[in-house]
């Protein structure tokens, strides 16, 4: 589940779990055994007979495999920040996130490099990080994970995340300073409309944040960042308004649909999404007509706060279909 300004509990938990807890040398033996890897196919000649050159070393975006992980990620991270993007071809959110990361890496002028990992082709890397869903993005500095997030976050939030990492690592990784001194790492102005909304959210003024995102959507109805952030603001406002006794009230009166909705919000906010999903699926089974539709729509809105590939969401969608049909 993502959240404005990257404060989603799952992101914090992922960062805490990775911080100093992952031994990236676990793949070193595999990287040092090239004879076990199938030889790379020869590149086909171009129309004029010339053989295409390999991608230039040190590019902003690199494709990483289990065999190249040690050199391209671990060793490179001793000099510059390396951001690992765990993705897969079938992952919808990955297709939203990866182009943003690639563009930001190119803009950085070498202050950091994006290392893309296809988890289907390189499952051991995903296992190494304990990634339970994708996209998952891990920042590597000095040979160790330093921070991470999961899900397709809005671009302004990713920029803030990267900026804070570069600030924290500038004195430790010489490549960051070198790139900035050579003209890289130029700050790109943020969208002030998003800044206004994010500042309001930070103050706890959810009504102002909601209004700011709605103004963006009035002008740009297809702006996915604004849509996602608006849903997250609405959820946070509901969860905070639910009250600490919302779950007890709902358990005492299963027929009170509004109580069930509030309790589900509180459970999801408390990192118990399975409980919240199950509560609303039970409400769908018990109700009919407008009440059933209200429970269903609320549940679907909660699904949208999570990565679509999250196993908990996938199971709950199956259970919802069974309840409806």
pLDDT tens-digit map of 192-230 = 888 888 889 888 899 999 999 999 999 888 888 888 889
If asked whether residues 145 and 256 sit together in one domain, one would say no
Residue 268, preceding peptide bond in cis (omega within 30° of 0): no
Q: Is residue 32 part of a domain?
A: no
If asked whether residues 154 and 15 sit together in one domain, one would say yes
If asked whether residues 64 and 208 sit together in one domain, one would say no
> What is the C-alpha separation between 139 and 148, in angstroms, rounded?
6
- Stated pTM of the model: 0.48
Q: Residue 24: what pLDDT?
A: 54
If asked whether residues 143 and 15 sit together in one domain, one would say yes
If asked whether residues 14 and 159 sit together in one domain, one would say yes
If asked whether residues 212 and 256 sit together in one domain, one would say no
Active-site residue, 42 included: no
> What is the C-alpha separation between 82 and 59, in angstroms, rounded?
12
CB-based contact 8:151 (threshold 8 Å): yes
If asked whether residues 70 and 164 sit together in one domain, one would say yes
Spatial strand order in the sheet of 112-118: 61-63, 112-118, 81-87, 136-141, 144-150
Active-site residue, 94 included: yes
Q: Is residue 38 part of a domain?
A: no
Q: Residue 308: what pLDDT?
A: 77
> What is the C-alpha separation between 114 and 83, in angstroms, rounded?
5
Beta bridge partners of 149: 137
If asked whether residues 145 and 290 sit together in one domain, one would say no
Q: Is residue 47 part of a domain?
A: no
For tokens 């930070």, the residue is 202
Q: Is residue 95 part of a domain?
A: yes
Q: Residue 319: what pLDDT?
A: 95
Q: Residue 39: what pLDDT?
A: 34
CB-based contact 60:184 (threshold 8 Å): no
Q: Which residue positions in the chain have pLDDT lower than 70?
A: 1-58, 183-190
Q: How many domains does the chain have?
A: 3
Residues sharing a CB contact under 8 Å with residue 231, sequence separation 6 or more, in sequence order: 301, 304, 305
Q: Which of 1, 31, 94, 230 is catalytic?
A: 94
Q: Residue 246: what pLDDT?
A: 92
Angle (nearest 5°) at CA 225 between 312 and 168 = 85
Q: Is residue 157 part of a domain?
A: yes
For tokens 């020869």, the residue is 42
Q: Which domain holds residue 73?
A: 10-20+57-182
If asked whether residues 248 and 224 sit together in one domain, one would say no
Q: Which of 91, 115, 212, 233 is catalytic?
A: 91
């Amino acid at each position: 589940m993502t959240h404005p300004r990257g404060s989603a509990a799952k992101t914090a938990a992922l960062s805490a779990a990775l911080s100093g807890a992952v031994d990236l040398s676990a793949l070193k033996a595999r990287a040092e055994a090239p004879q076990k890897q199938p030889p790379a196919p020869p590149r086909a000649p171009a129309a004029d007979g010339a053989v295409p050159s390999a991608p230039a070393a040190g590019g902003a975006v690199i494709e990483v495999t289990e065999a190249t992980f040690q050199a391209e990620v671990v060793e490179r991270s001793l000099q510059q920040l390396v951001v690992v993007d765990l993705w897969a071809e079938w992952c919808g959110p990955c297709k939203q996130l990866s182009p943003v990361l690639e563009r930001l890496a190119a803009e950085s002028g070498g202050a950091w490099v994006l290392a893309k990992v296809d988890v289907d082709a390189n499952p051991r890397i995903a296992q190494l990080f304990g990634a339970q869903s994708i996209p998952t993005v891990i920042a590597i500095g000095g040979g160790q994970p330093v921070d991470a997030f999961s899900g397709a976050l809005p671009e302004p939030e990713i920029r803030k995340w990267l900026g804070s990492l570069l600030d924290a690592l500038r004195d430790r990784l010489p490549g960051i300073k070198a790139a900035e001194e050579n003209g890289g790492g130029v700050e790109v102005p943020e969208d002030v409309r998003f800044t206004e909304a994010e500042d309001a959210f930070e103050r706890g003024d959810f009504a102002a944040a909601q209004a700011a995102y709605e103004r963006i959507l009035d002008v740009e109805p297809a702006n996915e960042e604004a849509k996602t952030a608006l849903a997250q603001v609405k959820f946070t406002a509901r969860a905070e308004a639910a009250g600490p006794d919302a779950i007890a009230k709902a358990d005492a009166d299963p027929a009170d649909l509004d109580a069930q909705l509030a309790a589900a919000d509180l459970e999801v906010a408390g990192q118990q999404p399975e409980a919240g999903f199950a509560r609303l699926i039970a409400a769908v089974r018990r109700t009919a007509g407008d009440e059933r539709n209200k429970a269903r729509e609320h549940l679907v809105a909660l699904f949208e706060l999570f990565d679509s590939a999250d196993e908990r969401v996938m199971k709950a969608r199956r259970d919802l279909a069974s309840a409806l049909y």
